[in-house]
Each structure stands twice: as structure tokens, then as C-alpha cells.
Amino acid sequence: ELSSNAYITLTPARGLSLTARVAPEVYSSRSSSLSNPFYGSVTTGGAVAISSERIVVVNQQYLANYKTSFTDDHKLEVLAGFESYSMKDQYMEGSNDHLFSPFVDELNNAYGTQPTSSNLGSYTDNYRTQGFLGRVQYDLFERYYFNATVRHEASSRFSPDARWGTFGSVGAAWMVTEEDFMKNVDWVNDLKIKASYGSQGNDQIGTYYAYLDRYSISYNSATGEYSKVLSSKGNKDLTWESQKLSNIGAEFTLFKNFDGSIEYFRRKNSDMLFNVPMPPSAGYTSQRQNVGSVLNQGVEIELGYQILNTKNVSWRVDGNMTYIKSKILELPAYTQATGGIKSSSYILKEGGSLNQAYMVKWAGVDKATGKGLYYVDPDNGDYSTTSDYSKAKQADLGDVSAKFYGGFSTSVEAYGFDLSAQLSYQLGGKAYDGGYEELMHAGAQLGRNWHKDILNAWTPENTNTDVPRLCAGSTDDFDQDTTDRWLVSTNYLSLNNITLGYTLPVKLTKKAQISKMRVYLSGDNLALLSARKGFDPRQSQNASGAGLNISTSSGNYVYSQLKVFSAGVSLTF
């Protein structure tokens, strides 16, 4: 990996600065995989696979910034500029088997398929964005603040007729404590009220060529002819997904030692980039379209308190909390007939959340036989049970995203020593624990480990249990099927960091021309309290905040964060 950054700034006039910045980056990687003929690839005489990738990225930015003031009461700053981003990704891979030497991981050592080029593949992807931007900031009496921004940008992911979008924002802030009527309110040291509204675009649609028809090509060596089959239907009308953001909040300092902020935010995504299923008569299975909208809203709170602040001792505590709720406002029209977009683990439907679990509902263990039981069709009021998984229907299990998350910290300084701790927490969500699922198998997978909870499995003497019977080689299928049995609370409290340090007295370090010398010991990811030992909710969340899309198969293979201990010396000359 090679990263660089070059820039130049000119000031041709008072208050005016011109900046040009170019930042190229190059990422290169090569990987190889070797399977020997002695075990693992016995039937193929060993195998080798090699891949190579090179990504070149260039960021460019050209800005003109002008600052001026009209007397001491009026300050104005204007920014205009142009930005561009370009990426070229070149990838090549190859594989073959029947190795001449079991220890050489090169394609020329493999002779299973001739010519070897039959197992080669490569592609080149290009992606580019560019845009014009502007910003105006105005400060009146250092009491009233106003700002406005605008961006007109294009993405190569969309067709030339639909790739430009315009987005912007406006904001204002009021320093209430600068008003005359607040001068005698001694307990309010700072108070600022702020609000903003704006929009931004999203072009992340999983492919660089969604507006183009794409085909799978095949060659018939007998006839010397090529054939092509439509693999993806393009949409030339596809354009930016729009996200409208608004917030209102306040920042404050009270009694000189208590500070914080509270903010309400609202984000509405519209013209969302959906892969919409198409009827068989269309000739293709799906097409990306701009449909649907989702609303996310919530509250963020940050609080801090200076408990002590003397000449030799300082002690402060801080905490924050975020509450967020999502609601799907609109989906493609076809979902009205199907009840939403349904998968093996989640459902998206109007009025629901982005993290709505949709699984077969676990009903416990049959006390007479020890088999696992499932509710037949809870969504339609049928709560009868069956031991046959195929006869049970998936059910809407509600929103499983976390309701609250945040953290808190404390720091103490006393007589040269400093001690700090940082913790985080989460409340109100659920995630799919596929690791636990795999460890609770019924015994058919010989050689696989068990969780200690398997000791409570059903037996004729232990019928009052929620763990089904062990029955190696049987047709019991309950141990590895996707059900809400494996949904577990994502509530947690983690100790993320503790740092202890000592700063030597200046009278000792100045003799060595050192203005400050600090030694420290630090530990990261030290402890975690969660619903199940070995389950780390921090590692089981998808991009939407729910643990449904990580893996709902047996065995997530998602491991906890590593504990890290470090020590060091910090010098300031």
C-alpha cells in the first residue's frame, strides 16, 4: 500500500486562499492457496489458486476560500471548489489441480486442466465521482451564526443523463448567553441553540454499471461462435438516493462544571436504491430502481461533570446515550401483495423497521419424545406445535435493533499520576448467535465440540428442559435450523480501555532538555458482560445495527475483540 498527499496553498489577496490538493493511493495484493495431495485434495492430486489485485485511487480537490469582516460585528466566509475521485480496480485469478510438486504454489506446477488458461479470469472496474461545492458562513456579533452549503455532483454508477444530483443544507446557531438578558444569570455559563436541515446523496448500489445491460458470454469451440445471455438488466433512469437530514439541539455549560448537549435528529431516505424482482414475462429476474423510503429518528445526549478541580487533583466523568428508531415508509408496489420483502431471517414491510426478524418460532421441547417443537403459523393465529420443521411457517418477530447505545468514561489526575477508563453499553436488541447454534448440535456431527448447556439435554429422566434430546444419526433436524431459539439479547457492558500514567516532575526532565516525560500502561478490550459467555454483541451487528445478516447458518465464526496491553514513554522536547 502506498499513500501520498501533495498540496499547495496560495494567498494572492488579503483573506483569499487558493488550495490545490492531489492524493494518489495504490493498493497491491497477491494471495495464493495450496492444497496438498496427501490430505484435503487427495482425489485431485493437490490444488493451487492464485489471485492478484491492484487498485489505484486518485483524490483531487481545488478550493478557493475567502474571509472578510465588516467591522468587528460582521464576519463572512465563502468557500467554492471542485472535487473528484477516481478508482481503477484490476483483478486477476487462476486455479488448477494435479500438482507435480506438492510444495510449489504456482500455476505452472499444476496440470489438471490444459490449457491452464481455461481456469483464468480477470476484470477491470472503473469508478469516478466529481462535483462542485460551495459554502457560506456568516457570524453576526459572535452571537448569531448562519451557514449554507450546496453540492452539485455526478457518479459514474448512473447513466450520463441521470448521474448529476444537487444537494445542500442550511443551518443556524444562537449563542443565548451572549444576550444582555443572560448577563446576570451566573449559573448558566454557556448556552447555544442550533438547528439544521439538508440533503445528501447515496450512490452505493453494489455495482458500478447498474444502468447498463450486462451479458454472460460463452464460446462454442466446435462452431467457432459466441453466444450471450442477459445476466443483469440495466436502468438508465436510475439516479441518486436522497437522504434528507434535520436536527435541532442545544449545547450548555452550567455551574462551571456541568456541561453537555442534547439533540434530536431525523433522517429520511427516499428514492432508495432497490433491487426489484420482476415477473417471469420480463425475461430477467430483477432490476435496480429508485423506490421506497425509510425514516430514522432519535435523540443523542452527552453529559460531563467536573467532580474535582484543584491545584493537584482533577476528576471528571462523561457519558453519552443515543436512542434511534427506524420505520419503513414506502416499499415497491409488488410488496403489497407479498406482505413485504421476505428472506430466511428478516422481513422488510411498510410500517416495520429495517431490522425486523422473520423466522420459524421455537416452541420448546416435547416432554414425551425430546424432539424440538415449532409453532405452525403464529402470524395467522395458529399456535399449535409440530416437530416437523418443514410444516412450520416463518413469523414476524418484531424489531430486533438496539434501542439505546452509548458509553461513559472517567479520568483522574493527581500529583503527576493520571488514570482513565472508558466503557460502552447497548440495550434493547437481539442478534443471531450461530456460534452457539453450532455448539448445540444433536450429536450427528461426529468430532464437533459441544457447549456446556448440552448437559441439560432431554432424557427420559430430564423432561423439564429446553434442550432437545441427543440422537446421533437420527433424522432430528431441530439442532441446526434457523429459528428464534438462537436469537439472544445484545445488551452488553464492555470495559474498552484503562490507562495509567505518570508524568515526571519538570525539575527532573529539564536537565535532559525534555519539557515533558510521561510513562504509561494501557489495556484495551479488557472485559465484557453479555447475555451469554463467548457471545460478543459488538461483533454481531450488521450495517443496520442488527445481528440478522451476519450469518443465520450454523457457526457465525465471529470472534470477540482481542485484549491488547501496551506500555510506552511519551517525550516532549
pLDDT tens sequence for the chain (573 residues): 999 999 999 999 999 999 999 999 999 999 999 988 887 677 889 999 999 999 999 999 999 999 999 888 999 999 999 999 999 999 999 999 999 999 999 999 999 887 766 789 999 999 999 999 999 999 999 999 999 999 999 999 999 999 999 999 999 999 999 999 999 999 999 999 999 999 999 999 989 999 999 999 988 888 999 999 998 999 999 999 999 999 999 999 999 999 999 999 999 999 999 888 887 788 888 899 999 999 999 999 999 999 999 999 999 999 999 999 999 999 988 888 889 988 888 899 999 998 899 999 999 999 999 999 999 999 999 999 999 999 999 999 999 999 999 999 999 999 999 999 999 999 999 988 888 888 888 887 777 889 999 999 999 999 999 999 988 766 676 567 889 999 999 999 999 999 999 999 988 888 888 889 999 999 999 999 999 988 888 876 543 334 454 444 445 566 778 999 999 999 988
DSSP 161: T
Cβ(466)–Cβ(365) below 8 Å? yes
Question: Among all chains, which residue has been given the C-alpha cell 444419526?
Answer: 473
Which residues, including other chains, have CB under 8 Å from residue 73's CB and lie 6 or more apart? 140, 141
Cβ atoms < 10 Å from Cβ of 514 = 14
DSSP 539: G
Strands 258-270 and 241-254: antiparallel
Comparing CA positions, the residue from 365, 347, 349 lying closest to residue 357 is 347
Instruction: Show the cell assigned to 331.
Output: 416499499
At 546 the pLDDT is 41
Residue 306's DSSP bridge partners are 316
C-alpha distances out from residue 165 to 154, 202, 242, 301, Å: 6, 10, 9, 33
Residue 348, burial from CB neighbour count under 10 angstroms (0-12, 13-18, 19+): buried
Please give the Cα distance from 386 to 389 (Å, whole number).
7
At 352 the pLDDT is 93
Please give the Cα distance from 251 to 496 (Å, whole number).
27
Q: Which amino acid is at 18?
A: L
Q: How far apart are the first and last CA of the chain?
A: 32
Please give the Cα distance from 413 to 542 (Å, whole number).
38
Tell me the residue ranges of DSSP E strands in 233-336. 241-254, 258-270, 273-277, 286-290, 293-309, 313-330
Backbone angles phi, psi at 521, to 5 degrees: -130, 130
Question: Among all chains, which residue has been given the C-alpha cell 493527581?
Answer: 414
At 503 the pLDDT is 94
Q: Is 295 helix (H, G, I), strand (E, B) or coil?
A: strand
Instruction: Show the cell assigned to 374.
Output: 415449532
Rounding to the nearest 10 degrees, give the CA dihedral for residues 184, 190, 193, 194.
Answer: 150
Cβ(373)–Cβ(363) below 8 Å? yes
As a 3-state breakdown, the chain gives helix, strand, coil percent values, each rounded to 5, of: 10, 55, 35
Query: Cα dihedral sign for 176, 179, 182, 183?
Result: positive
Comparing CA positions, the residue from 364, 343, 365 lying closest to residue 354 is 343
pTM: 0.85
Rounding to the nearest 10 degrees, give the CA dihedral for residues 179, 180, 182, 184.
Answer: 160
Please give the Cα distance from 409 to 114 (Å, whole number).
63
At 540 the pLDDT is 61
> From the centroid of its chain, how far is CA 271?
21
Instruction: Show the cell assigned to 365.
Output: 421441547
Cβ(285)–Cβ(275) below 8 Å? no
